[in-house]
Structures are given as structure tokens and as C-alpha cells.
Amino acid sequence: MMYYPVLMQVVVSLLRGINVGGHHLVKMDALRQIYASLNLRDPQTLLQSGNVVFTTSEPSLAALPARIEAAIEAACGFRPAVILRTAAELREVVAASPFANRLSPDGAGLHPAKIAVSFLPAAPTPAAREKALAIPSAPDELHFGVRELYLYFPNGMGRPTLSLPKVERALGMPGTARNWNTVTKLLDLADSLS
């Protein structure tokens, strides 16, 4: 009988809407315990906003978000949406940023604190993309990746022109956004587990 090695992969889990405005509060140690209870190894959290990086030997990640959502609901009494990206996929997201050549924390280009990535559960249809791009947004910028929105808010994220709820309605799906600094820190954390 042949045995095949189980391949471990590093996965980044992004929860939507936890610890925001005093709602859906989850302590990060409790969140790590929930992930560990699902046999997700080495769960590590970043910040207090629902970012969990872990390793798993799950052959398919398709059913995993629903399992995580159900476990959080059982433990915490609410069910946040969970979006997953493998470390390799997150690396591609960072590499594909339309803002990469324009980044400059010294003020000569785009400041990383004014850039965000909204992660979507699936690729939007061409018609949905077109509808989202028709939403007035200037001076903010919206660009599509495969399952991501790349966003630039020149006046800061606290004063956006572009309405993400309108974009999500146009796409027919909610996403969960992270600022650029968080995205790159998540990639660093994922790489450290690889």
C-alpha cells in the first residue's frame, strides 16, 4: 500500500465585521482556540480585526469557511463571513497591486495607509464589475483583481467618496477590506509559517 505525504498549506483567514464599533466582539485568544478546535494548526492572529493565519492539510478549502463560521457562531453567538486565501494567493494579491509602482510613504507617491484591498468570496461577473466601476468615486480609485478590489483613498479611508456598500450591492456579494499595511503584515506572517 502506498502512502502519500499530506501537504500542509498556509492559509490566511479574513473575518468580516468583528470587533468593529463594539459589535461582534471576539478575543483573539478565543479565536485562536476556535481555529485549533477545528484541527487548524498553529493559528496566529494579527490585530484585533479578525485576521487568522494557520496551517492545514485540508485537501480542499471550499467547505472550510462554513465550518469556521459555524464554530464561531456556536462559541460567540454570531456568524461572521469568512474569506480564505492561501499564502500563495495572498502573495499574488500583493504582487498584482495596481498601486505597487506608485507607493511611497515619504509623500512622493501614494501612501500605503490610504490603500486597501477588499477580499471577495468569489470572482465577480463582468456585468457586476462594469456596474461597480460605474459608481462615482473620484478622487478615490477602484481597480479589480481576480477576487479582490484594490482601493485608493487620497483623502483617507475615514472620508471616502467611494461607497463600499454600494460597490458590494453592485457586485452582489460582500467583501472584507484590509489596509495595505495589514495585507503586507499578513503576508509576512504567512511566510513565517511556510
Write the pLDDT tens digit of every residue in 110-157: 888 899 999 999 999 999 999 999 999 999 999 999 999 999 999 988
pLDDT in tens, 47-102: 877 899 999 998 889 999 999 999 999 999 999 999 999 999 999 999 999 998 88
Which one of 3.30.300.30, 3.30.70.1280, 3.50.50.60, 3.90.1260.10 gives the CATH number of domain 9-91?
Answer: 3.30.70.1280
Alpha carbon 83 to chain centroid, angstroms? 6
pLDDT category at 103 given cuts 50, 70, 90 is confident
pTM above 0.85, yes or no: yes
Question: Residue 3 above 60 pLDDT?
Answer: no
Domain boundaries, the chain: 9-91, 96-193
List pLDDT tens digits, range 160-188: 999 999 999 999 999 999 999 999 999 99
Task: Encode pLDDT of 20-47 as tens digits.
Answer: 666 677 888 999 999 999 999 999 999 8
pLDDT greater than 90 at residue 2: no
- Average pLDDT value for residue range 4-25: 78
